[in-house]
Structure 1
Amino acid sequence: MDRIAALRVFRRVIELNGFAAAARDLDLSNAAVSKIIKDLEADLGTPLILRTTRSLRLTDTGHDYFNQITRILDELGEAEDAVRSSGGEPRGVLRVSAPLSLGLVLLSPILARFAARYPQLELDVEFGDQSVDLIEGRFDLAIRGGLLQDSSLKARKLMDIERVVCASPDYLARCGTPESPEDLSGHRCLIYSLSPTPRSWVLDKDGESVRIAVDGGFRANNSLAVREAAIEGLGVALLPKIYAVDALASGRLVRVLPDWRGELHALYGVYPHHREASLKVRSLLDFLVEAVQDVLA
């Protein structure tokens, strides 16, 4: 039995909570995964997983074993990365999760330049607006905007995200221009459905903060779709300024309540604690910090 390979299979079975899911992830058959776990348990002389037709759970011994081998496999991965990168240049595979909208507007060319700088590195980027589990998805790094929720991850701030209230000139001509945050409750407000509070906007001005209940006839889980709905005159939007800047410059959108801004968010690079010493993660974070500052300059 290849012990390291068996440990990796055991880890994925637990992380993905199933033999079939681990088999798909590792490109193995269900029978192969089942045999590897049975052989591992036989070699250790104790059951690690209690199986039923609908679920699995770790035995007490299996739980302790999983925690220990996870640390060992993480350290082994870091050691392998260090050897591959001993010449001072990051190597190996770097898996990154990033928001789709931000990828289209900002990140795609930056990541392409990073890949060109480090040709020995295999960059694997998955774009999507849903927050992913870094461990389950086997990501080295995630780029996330907004307010951080998961305190179990390490984070490095990349940039502030200013958010502005805006609407099309056509909408404002038809429905009037809000003069105060409270006026927004009487307007069609376009909802970004992945927000932690999609029907509640927090606006700030000179240290004053107000929370406004909003609603409207349009919801989307993508900020660029919300922006396009605003441009088409469907209502008022609260958008990251970086998504709206071109439309504001061309007059397709107009700032509403220009003295007020959305609650300040930020863009972060987040990663598991065991990736803190990884040269490839640190290299990408350093590159991102420099690149986004050039964009904002």
Structure 2
Amino acid sequence: MSIDLNNVLIFVHSVRAGSFAEAGRRLGMPPNTVSRRVQNLEEEMGTRLLQRTTRKLSLTSAGQQFYERCATNLDDIDRARLEVSDSVLEPRGTVRVTAPADFFDYLKVEDIAHFLKLYPQVHLDFLLSDARLDLIAESIDIAFRVGPMQDSSLVARRLGNSFQYLVASPAYLSSAGMPQSLDDLVKHQCIGVPTMGEQMRWRLEGPDGPCDVSVSGRLRSSTARSQLLAARMGLGIALLPFAAVWEDLGTQRLVRILPEYHHDQGGAWVVYSSRRHLSLAVKTLMEFVAAKLASELQQQPGG
């Protein structure tokens, strides 16, 4: 059974108004139009909903049951409408975000605290993972990602370049020596991600273009954060994002190795599933984080 929801709305207003004339005045339509629309609803439902007299309207048993159900739902819709209207003026609601595990090396927690203070009606859920989560399946509003964009069904906005640099601690270099060329890396302990074999392959861009170098080491780990800690402890040379190492480079806790080489990760991006249906809270967070990350990324040396 298919019914016209506008007729349902007119029916509820008619009951609340007590007459077709008053309902018409409230709805801005002629009373005979109101009466006809309620009659259409009764025909659609196959039952009489209202008893009509010259003075008033009264509900039938079926009409009473239908009215109680419809009035509650229409009130819920009206409350939702008001909440959405309010949110146009002030960001509110929960925003679900996915980002790499080391995301807070790029965006400071202090920045998130500032955002939450600016927008007290917004709640943030961060799903931090180096795996690329399915935005639809996980009900994720936006994703911040590093690397080439492969899913053409997503809307992707580039925030800037994202480079990785070769770094090591002064203590390690004092013991093992400073590499003078890429060939020297094979003699050093290198910290990278786990692989099936003993060798790790680093792709670097240098003065003569891209090149691949095979390295090895006694310690390998799956996150940039753990590799950073290992490099600080003097366990070897690591290839790490600028956002993870810039403070250490500034304090000389770490030293950049072979500065003419770097690895281009393929850019930093903000990604979402559609240009439509982005709430004000999502848009506001996206612009806030995008501005912060773009500022951070602009500080990177070009290699």
Give the Cα separation in 1 of the matches to 2:82 and 2:263. 41
Aligned twin of 1:96: 97
Change (3 A) 1:183 1:148: farther
CA contact (8 A) 2:158 2:267 kept: yes
**Whole-Å Cα distance in 1 between the matches of residues 83 and 257 of structure 2?**
51
Report how far residue 166 of structure 1 moved. Answer: 0.9
Q: Counterpart in 1 of 2:33?
A: none
Paired letter, 1:250: T
One-letter amino acid of the structure 1 residue matched with residue 242 of structure 2: K
Aligned residue for 2:233? 232
1:141 — aligned with what? 142
How many Å separate the matches in 1 of 2:132 and 2:176?
35
Q: Per-residue CA shift, 1:14-37, capped at 9, x if unaligned? A: xxxxxxxxxxxxxxxxxxxxxxxx
2:184 and 2:86 map into 1 onto residues whose CA distance is: 57
Instruction: Summarize the Cα distance change of 1:207–1:119 in structure 2 as closer, same or farther, 3 Å threshold.
Output: farther
Are residues 280 and 206 of structure 1, via their aligned partners in 2, closer, same or farther at CA, if it must alter by over 3 Å?
farther
Deviation at 1:129, TM superposition (A): 2.9
CA deviations on 1:174-232 (whole Å, 9 max, x unpaired) are 222222223223322111349xxx92211112461111122211111221110111111
Match of 1:255 in 2: 256
In structure 2, distance between residues paired with 1:207 and 1:275: 44
Question: What SS class does the counterpart of residue 125 from structure 1 fall into?
Answer: strand
- The residue correspondences of 1:70-85 to structure 2 (distance < 5 A) are 83-84=84-85
Instruction: Give 1:185's aligned amino acid.
Output: V
1:27-61 deviations in Å (ceiling 9; x for gaps) = xxxxxxxxxxxxxxxxxxxxxxxxxxxxxxxxxxx
One-letter amino acid of the structure 1 residue matched with residue 239 of structure 2:
L
- Structure 2 distance, partners of 1:81, 1:253, is 54
| TM-superposed deviation, 1:252 | 2.1
Over the matched positions of the two proteins, sequence identity in percent amounts to 35
Secondary structure of the equivalent of 1:273?
Answer: coil
* Structure 2 residues not aligned, in runs of 5+: 1-79
**Corresponding residue SS for 2:131:** coil
Q: Distance in 2 between matches of 1:281 and 1:234?
A: 41
Q: Shift of the alpha carbon at 1:238?
A: 0.5
1:178 aligns to 2:170 (yes or no): no
Q: Is the 8 A contact 2:166 2:257 kept in 1?
A: yes
Counting only pairs closer than 5 Å after superposition, residues 129-208 of structure 1 correspond to structure 2 as: 129-193=130-194, 199-206=200-207, 208=209
Q: Is the 8 A contact 1:144 1:267 kept in 2?
A: yes
Which amino acid in 2 is paired with 1:234? L
1:278 offset after TM fit, Å? Answer: 3.8
Matched residue type, 2:146 = G
CA displacement at 1:84 relative to structure 2 = 4.6
> How far apart are the structure 2 equivalents of 1:93 and 1:137?
14
Q: Distance in 2 between matches of 1:80 and 1:123?
A: 23
Aligned pairs (5 A) from 1:1-297: 83-84=84-85, 87-104=88-105, 106-193=107-194, 199-206=200-207, 208-273=209-274, 275=276, 277-295=278-296
1:62 maps to what in 2?
Answer: none
CA distance in 2 between partners of 1:88 and 1:156 (Å): 25
TM-score calculated relative to the size of structure 2? 0.63
- Provide the aligned length of Structure 1 versus Structure 2: 217
Q: Over aligned residue pairs, what C-alpha RMSD do you find?
A: 2.9
TM superposition shift of 1:86: 5.2
- Rounded Cα–Cα distance in structure 2 between residues aligned with 1:209 and 1:143: 26
Q: Describe the shift of the 1:184–1:81 C-alpha distance in structure 2 as closer, same or farther (beyond 3 A).
A: farther
